[in-house]
Amino acid sequence: MKELMEITNLCYQGLFENISFQIEQGKFVTISGANNCGKTTLIRILSGQKPISKTIKLLGMYMEEYPQILWKEITGVIIPQDNVTFLFKTVEEELNYTIHLFKKTEEEKKETYKEIIKKYKLTKFQKENPNDVSDFIKIKILLAEKLLGSPQVLFLDDICEMLETKEKKEIINLLRTIQLETGISIVMVTRDLNVALESDYLLIIDEKKILLTGEPLTIIEKDNVLNKIGLELPFMIDLSVKLRDYNLVEKTELDIDRMVDNIWK
């Protein structure tokens, strides 16, 4: 697998001290940690909003070496707390304006709009003001607009934080579908380990360092470490760990029905 990003000895304003890690191309990577550990700042650094020289390489080249227009073409970033304001009065107008920037013919524009409305399940919101819809719908609109430019990597700052469980699942499934279809790399920071569990790779930040890295389930099973730094385990993993302590199950089980079957065997 080719390397997408290489971060070497990242130091920043007391938040990070000599952090080094790599991100593989085409992967869905989650970075997690307790509140105030610097997650949003890190996503701003990785996405180029807070550039640091001779520290971060994207596709083998330092970020400061990219012309700004090229950097914007190959990267996309969504940070909900920046209070994005949409320009147009309807979702339809908002999406069509962005489509117009990337598609040339009228036929391409019409087909692209139909595809987006269907894929992102926005049909009944077409005539609504995008600034007045729920956070869930706003996130979908932002994703659709950012992905129209076909970036190679998408940086996300806890876009599921304000969503309901069902909504979080739909957004993650949507991201996974897009990842498989396009090969895009996704880098997301979040405090929610239920969301992190769905990624390919997980990094845990604590005390200005990378504390843990690896496959999400393996990392999240380290309950003593995660609880100590203030991260809440997903319910099924927390339950599995407790049941393992009483020898009621042999391994972590994420499906409640299978867990019940295993207990009663």
Q: Write the CATH number for 172.
A: 3.40.50.300
Q: Determine the pLDDT at residue 193.
A: 92
User: 150: helix, coil or strand?
Assistant: coil
pLDDT tens for each residue of 119-168: 999 999 999 999 999 999 999 999 999 999 999 999 999 999 989 999 99
Q: Determine the pLDDT at residue 254.
A: 64
Q: Determine the pLDDT at residue 36.
A: 87
Cβ 20 vs Cβ 194: under 8 Å:
no
Split into its structural domains, the chain has a count of 1
C-alpha 189/C-alpha 43 separation (Å) is 7
Q: Kindly state whether residue 19 falls inside one of the protein's structural domains.
A: yes
Place of tokens 């080249």: 61
Q: Kindly state whether residue 257 falls inside one of the protein's structural domains.
A: no
pLDDT tens for each residue of 221-232: 888 888 889 888
Q: Kindly state whether residue 11 falls inside one of the protein's structural domains.
A: yes
- Is it the case that residue 198 has pLDDT exceeding 70? yes
Running DSSP on this structure, what letter comes out for residue 89?
S
Q: Kindly state whether residue 144 falls inside one of the protein's structural domains.
A: yes
Please report the sign of the dihedral spanned by the C-alpha atoms of residue 71, residue 43, residue 237, residue 250.
positive
Mean pLDDT, the chain, as a whole number? 90
Q: Which amino acid is at 134?
A: S
- Residues of the chain above pLDDT 90, percent: 73
Q: Kindly state whether residue 106 falls inside one of the protein's structural domains.
A: no
- Is it the case that residue 81 has pLDDT exceeding 90? no
Q: Which residues pair with 77 in a beta bridge?
A: 155
Tell me what the mean pLDDT of segment 110-126 comes to: 97
Q: Kindly state whether residue 151 falls inside one of the protein's structural domains.
A: yes
DSSP H helices, 133-265, are 135-148, 165-182, 193-196, 216-220, 223-228, 235-245, 256-264
Residue range(s) defining the domain that contains residue 214: 3-85+131-233
- Is it the case that residue 233 has pLDDT exceeding 90? no
- pLDDT tier at 259 (50, 70, 90 boundaries)? low
- pLDDT tier at 255 (50, 70, 90 boundaries)? low
The token pair that represents 231 in the structure block: 């991260």
Q: Kindly state whether residue 209 falls inside one of the protein's structural domains.
A: yes
- Is it the case that residue 1 has pLDDT exceeding 70? no
CA-to-CA dists, residue 6 to 10, 37, 108, 110, angstroms: 10, 21, 37, 39
Q: Output the pTM of the full model.
A: 0.90
Q: Kindly state whether residue 219 falls inside one of the protein's structural domains.
A: yes
Q: Determine the pLDDT at residue 35.
A: 86
Q: Determine the pLDDT at residue 262.
A: 63
C-alpha 83/C-alpha 264 separation (Å) is 50
